[in-house]
Structure 1
């Protein structure tokens, strides 16, 4: 029999979906309204004054006044916010800083304001309600739910609290979910990831786990520990576990391994959250892509990847985008980020409604020879290469090998397999063929004998976990780059003897 909570979830889901349809059906007007409100609300801030917000009436004006910046470009303003100055990039002071690790700037402090914070919570809630509305499944709201996340312990900087986004969000779990939520607060506060996973396993083994959520690579660690402890598939240990919620990376390379660990198929919901905003969530089980949230205090611009490094690339709004083109996503938000290059690349799978997939990172690509291979392409090539085999991949990354000891240069794929691979050259050839089919530049380089086909290097069991641990990024919201244009990861794997 359905619990009261499960019964009430269905009409609430129906109400929220009906409400969402208003902006979904009016995407261009919705984005224009968001744009005008952002400009108006920030007109008297230091940033707004410096960039003549008072006279910005439309997107063309905005483009002329506000150049695209990444964190480094916006840092002089953010530093003033961090120092405690009010009204710099947004009115007043932020509620929190989401602290993330930057590549060149050390720690990055992303402001979260009283206007932006609720959009993170609302989006996560609405993703689950969309699922309930579509499938009619609401039993899981009575079971226990887990989100593998960062510590909710917050520091303070000039009167403003700061921490990992997932740790901050833990403070906003609705009261009606508090009793369902796992792990306990004390366990969530454990900083060391391996110790934390052990504690989570101990706490959850005897519980009625219905929803499990987190970045796939770290949930995999949790599942492996459960299987180790019990000798059973996760789906037998948690008989009512039927929904996996994830974000941060593409789930497809993990799917076969997960189904093996769980012992059966479970439904999944993909999310697209970041410290800078909650951008999209999967609203349909059988549609490709995630619904782009156009009414959440974020104004979006898109620059085709092919033109991004031009002197003045054209900045497109939602009305100008096309399906199947790879774009760099630029955001302006009610947390005070302006024409901000998030670093992500996206591709639209639909424009009615607007749905996206995350295709990679503008900085994570291989173009040592002009091939410009991106994350989406290597993930798809791996999936294609594995078809018809029983090989299971735990994790992988790709790097260029520019100076091999013999022969032509090539792309080197570092793959950690779950099981034995009896024909590595055949698998490499299948992946290479799939990559050539997707990327014409790569195809031309192979045909023109500039590159030789890719080679696979096998990584030891748990090798990528050891690598992440060695750089202080084990667990939480940290992700292994799918590919890079240098050999920093490759060299570190070799240095740590993590290569077979």
Structure 2
């Protein structure tokens, strides 16, 4: 068994890396400022660098005054030029890879630049840090005695004008070192299959023969795979198939709605769940403690962070702060400047700081995925926690859901309309609705105020989705697998109306 040798190498790397981590834990603002100045210096002779005269920027204040905060739509013209083979536009190194991302279900694809520096110093560095933190917290781990079952996107890579685009997971798999493939399953050929359903069958058949010790992937799609494994093998527990399985590394969507279902298929008290926070734009934070939902913000991956207070987001007086200005418990939109040439770029996520010594966060939602039609400020964090509570009370299990407003009319107050696909429906939908409403009121004082005496919001309306409705909807849009997900909350009814149309027989609460 090669485990002692591999473990000794991992231990050496862990001790070396922890010294660097301790540096940004002790001097977070200094490390972040140094990264910003390095990025500006590296890019000073690019088109962007000349436009904003990076040569004369020597501090954050000047950088903030000159460089505007931007969205993907504002960056797109420069990114398209880079995709056509132009260089030195926003980053001096040629950009070979572009991570194709649709965010959630927007028809228009995004192409996020991925530089060599980002690949090595951010994405791959974070993968190693994740293992280091896990091993540091679990000294009896047998992780390297087996393989990691990875579940990435289902798209192959495409070449165009000398540049390559595809899912970020496909780019990472295509460029990973040989030893990483040796320690992973399924093989690259299966991992990069484009047809999701064919790929799913191939993964099941290959991985049940392996000694799998860890899992890595998005919770929603991993659950689909694991249930397929159980169906294929006829087992009730995954530990009957992979007895040495010890940890699941997850990210991409909230784990809260799926936790209870995972606990059922992993009936092992010592089984670990480790969360990560990454995106096409970069790898941002890692769970650094056992049994914690807080994620350590990684400050030395070539990413400079800014945050917009969500109370002022989108207004003429947006309050933008750096790390030294954030407050515990407040929601912020994330803005990044990166070693792939994204400058003050809004990634669309919101986070809440749980501590500032060190800087630990939780992902609270998306800037575009919330409901605030009636001043209720409902965010994904609220709905996920409320559903978790209600499912435990009513013994229900949820596959997926989406929520949209029913707008006010002259003779009627507004409300929220839910479409929920249950794995195990509640016996009494009326009770489920009442409990959900109560949970949301206890979690969100703005929602509670709008529900008072039904003055602004009435009791939520809940529709039951047919089995596999959300799956079939994503399949219809060629968005199965990977980071693709259903939009949970929306201020418009577009997604909901499309899903209701597909839902053959509509069941509503009384």
Matched, 1:338 2:343: yes
CA-to-aligned-CA distance 1:369-398 (integer Å, 9 cap, x gap): 122211111111112223334222222221
Map 1:375-454; keep pairs closer than 5 Å.
375-402=380-407, 408-447=413-452, 449-454=455-460
Judge conservation of contact 1:236–1:263 (CA < 8 Å) in 2.
no
Structure 2 residue aligned with 1:60: 61
Contiguous gaps of at least 5 residues in structure 2: none
Question: Mean alpha-carbon deviation: is it higher for 463-472 or for 4-13?
Answer: 4-13
Tell me how far 1:259 sits from its aligned partner. Answer: 1.6
- Distance in 1, matches of 2:394 and 2:15, equals 42
Alpha-carbon spacing, 1:325–1:44, altered in 2? closer, same or farther (3 Å): same
Query: Could you tell me which of 162, 166, 173 is aligned with 1:163?
Result: 166
CA deviation profile, 1:180-212 (whole Å, cap 9, x unmatched) = 211122212321111111110011112211111
- State the partner residue of 1:310: 315
User: Secondary structure of 2:488's match?
Assistant: coil
The correspondence for 1:366, drawn from 358, 367, 371, is 371
Gaps of 5+ in 1: none
Change (3 A) 1:229 1:166: same
Shift of 1:314: 2.5
Farther-moved stretch of structure 1 (241-250 vs 155-164): 155-164
For 1:481, the equivalent position in structure 2 comes to: 487
TM-score normalised over the length of structure 1: 0.95
1:272 is matched with which residue? 277
Q: Name the residue aligned to 2:144.
A: 141
Aligned counterparts of 1:92 and 1:210: Cα–Cα separation in 2: 38
CA distance in 2, matches of 1:104, 1:186: 28
Deviations 1:85-132 (CA, angstroms, capped at 9, x unpaired): 111001131131111226778222211112111110110111111010
SS of equivalent residue, structure 2 residue 424:
coil
> Structure 1 CA distance, aligned partners of 2:210 and 2:403?
39
1:295 to 295, 300, 310: 300
Give how far 1:228 is off: 1.1
Q: Give, in whole Å, the separation in 1 of the partners of 2:383 and 2:318.
A: 26
Cα distance in 2 for partners of 1:3, 1:410 equals: 59
Single out whichever of 186-195 and 403-412 deviates more from structure 2: 403-412
Is the 1:6–1:142 Cα contact (8 Å) retained in structure 2? no
Deviation of the 1:404 alpha carbon: 9.1
2:331 maps to 1:329:
no
Q: CA deviation at 1:431?
A: 1.7
Report the aligned-residue RMSD. Answer: 2.0
Report the CA distance between 1:358 and its aligned residue: 0.8
Which of these residues, 115, 124, 135, is aligned with residue 113 of structure 1?
115
Give the structure 2 partner of residue 458 of structure 1. Answer: 464
Instruction: Check whether the contact 1:281–1:290 (CA below 8 A) recurs between aligned residues.
Output: yes
8 A contact 2:348–2:367 mirrored in 1: yes
Partner residue in 1 for 2:83: 82
Could you state the TM-score of these two structures normalised by the residue count of structure 2?
A: 0.93
- Contact 1:152–1:188 (Cα < 8 Å) also in 2: no
User: Which residue of structure 2 lines up, in the alignment, with residue 96 of structure 1?
Assistant: 97
- Identify which of 219, 234, 238 aligns with 1:234: 238
User: Is the CA contact 1:193–1:476 (under 8 Å) kept in the aligned structure 2?
Assistant: no
Q: Aligned pair count?
A: 500
Over 3 Å counting, the alpha-carbon distance change for 1:406 and 1:211 in structure 2 is farther
Counterpart for residue 69 of structure 1: 70
Match for residue 254 of structure 1 among 251, 258, 269: 258
